[in-house]
Amino acid sequence: MRFKLLIIIGIVLGGLVIVGIRAVSHHAPRPEAARQNPFVFDAQAKPFDRQLQKIQSAIEKSPADPNGYNMLCAAYLKKARETGDFGFNARAETALNRSFELNSSADNYEAIRLKAMLLLAYHRFGEALEAARRAQEIQPRDPQNYGAMTDALVELGDYPGAFKAAQTMMDIKPGTSSYSRVSYLRELQGDTQGAIELMRAATEATGDPETAAWCLVHLGNLLINSGKAAAADHEIDNALNIFPDYHLALAAKARVRLAVGDLDSAVEFYKQAQERVPLPETAIALGNLYTKQGRVDEAKRQYELVEFIERAGSIESKTYSRNIALFWADHDVKLDEALTVARREREMRSDIYTSDALAWCLFKKGELTEAKTAMDEALRLGTRDARLNYHAGMIEQALGNRRAAVKHLQLALEINPSFDILQADAARQTLRAMGV
């Protein structure tokens, strides 16, 4: 799944807000009344929406109290995570702005803390770090501030700072939020088994169904990358039992089916995931599967959907993401634009996955020396990631470094032989051409 879909975690009222996984997402159609007034709710509301109605009632009773708007902001952030419709983040921002209008002082601590979470959701990592540090100065024993700092520091590429913040969070309050973060940091360092153990602990520590399902999905991903497809399938089924029709779990089921060579079932699960929440990574995976199966027209429609979703997202963010740069590079289209996007994003953040995206785009443009430098940055933590090693192997092969190329390409296929249905084939073809 990685574009790095996954996968830094922000905390909202004890829940998880996933950021870094994707730079854009589908904005579901909204009722006209909701467009005009972000605080209007449907009379046929589901349980969570009824919770939002209660919050609105509290706001109406005490309109000068910022806490009602803080609760509304947190609720919208949670709704964005659960539905995959990050249009709810705009509603969260509206609520938070109103809270600050009512009280912009340090006394409105909850709003300051929530600002960091909202900025993380918008991928404004430098600003999120500043907001989290301000909140930490006010409440130095609130573990959620260190969680937000961890998330921002990881995305900015300051891994020592992220490790320190995550450890502080763990020291203050061990639990789902801290376990899941440390699990990810272990994964980045190549400690897959340690990451698995901590994600199990994160799952067991939560009582929230959606959060538990999120943890189980990521546990499943870790197990797939450990060659344990059956165990991964079990955990992902648990996620679907806990939180039925969860789009992330349905996509994870597709990855498990790919891991065992069942392409037809993988297609069906990706289609189910996409019906619930159309995301770029799902459309890419489904398009690649159709390409593998020779279903050219269906693949083309999926690839067009990827660009449609990205364009829709860029209206708000004013920029394309590294995800689209990787997509273009994988498919050898729009390479100049892909490199421009990757360079721009690298100027804003120095994490290993942005370095990887830049390296891959440079490789596709034939700028091999610079690609090698960027790829070395991407590999600096020793992360066991099939895509990273595939990219490294292809760059080394182009540079004529046969031993290094073979090492990385073989490791990519060892970690996850189905990491990408098309790129994994390219890795195998390259090894065969090298006589391996």
Q: How many CA atoms within 13 Å lie on the side-chain side of 225?
A: 27
DSSP 8-state assignment for residue 401? -
**pLDDT, tens digit only, all 436 positions of the chain:** 333 333 334 433 233 333 332 222 333 333 333 333 333 333 334 666 788 889 989 999 999 999 999 999 999 998 888 777 778 899 999 999 999 999 999 999 999 999 999 999 988 999 999 999 999 999 999 999 999 999 999 999 999 999 999 999 999 999 999 999 999 999 999 999 999 999 999 999 998 898 999 999 999 999 999 999 999 999 999 999 999 999 999 999 999 999 999 999 999 999 999 999 999 999 999 999 999 999 999 999 999 999 998 887 665 554 568 999 999 999 999 999 999 999 999 998 999 999 999 999 999 999 999 999 999 999 999 999 999 999 999 999 999 999 999 999 999 999 999 999 999 999 999 999 999 9
Identify the CA nearest to 187 among candidates 178, 197, 177: 197
> What's at 83, amino acid-wise?
T
Helix (H) or strand (E) holding 12: strand 8-12
Domain boundaries, the chain: 1-173, 319-436
Determine the 3-state secondary structure of 426 from DSSP: helix
What tokens were used for 125? Answer: 């990592």
| pLDDT at position 320 | 62
Phi, psi of 18 (to 5 degrees): -85, 125
Determine the 3-state secondary structure of 41 from DSSP: coil
What tokens were used for 98? Answer: 């109103």
Pairing of strands 8-12, 15-19: antiparallel
Cα-Cα-Cα-Cα dihedral of 48, 53, 54, 58, to 10°? 140
DSSP 8-state assignment for residue 38? T
| pLDDT at position 315 | 52
pTM score of the predicted model: 0.86
| Residue 23 to residue 68: CA distance in whole angstroms | 29
Instruction: Tell me how far apart the terminal alpha carbons of the chain are, to the nearest angstrom.
Output: 27
What tokens were used for 194? Answer: 């340690």
| Residue 136 to residue 145: CA distance in whole angstroms | 6
Identify the CA nearest to 205 among candidates 115, 138, 118, 143: 143
Query: What's the residue count for the chain?
Result: 436
| pLDDT at position 319 | 53
Determine the 3-state secondary structure of 105 from DSSP: coil
Phi, psi of 217 (to 5 degrees): -60, -45
- The answer to whether domain 1-173 has CATH 3.40.50.10420 is no
Q: Do domains 1-173 and 319-436 have the same CATH topology?
A: yes
| Residue 64 to residue 67: CA distance in whole angstroms | 9
| pLDDT at position 81 | 81
Identify the CA nearest to 306 among candidates 269, 279, 341: 279
> What's at 304, amino acid-wise?
E
Q: Are the CB atoms for 390 and 423 separated by under 8 Å?
A: yes
Count the neighbouring beta carbons within 10 Å of the beta carbon of residue 297: 7
| Residue 13 to residue 356: CA distance in whole angstroms | 33
β partners of residue 8: 19
CB burial string 62-82: b at 16+ within 10 A, e below: eeeebbbbbbbbbbbbbbbbb
| Residue 336 to residue 341: CA distance in whole angstroms | 9
Domain 319-436 CATH class label: mainly alpha
Count the neighbouring beta carbons within 10 Å of the beta carbon of residue 433: 9
Q: Are the CB atoms for 177 and 161 separated by under 8 Å?
A: no
| pLDDT at position 53 | 83
| Residue 423 to residue 307: CA distance in whole angstroms | 20
Q: Are the CB atoms for 155 and 8 separated by under 8 Å?
A: yes
DSSP code string of 346-374: HHH---HHHHHHHHHHHHHTT-HHHHHHH
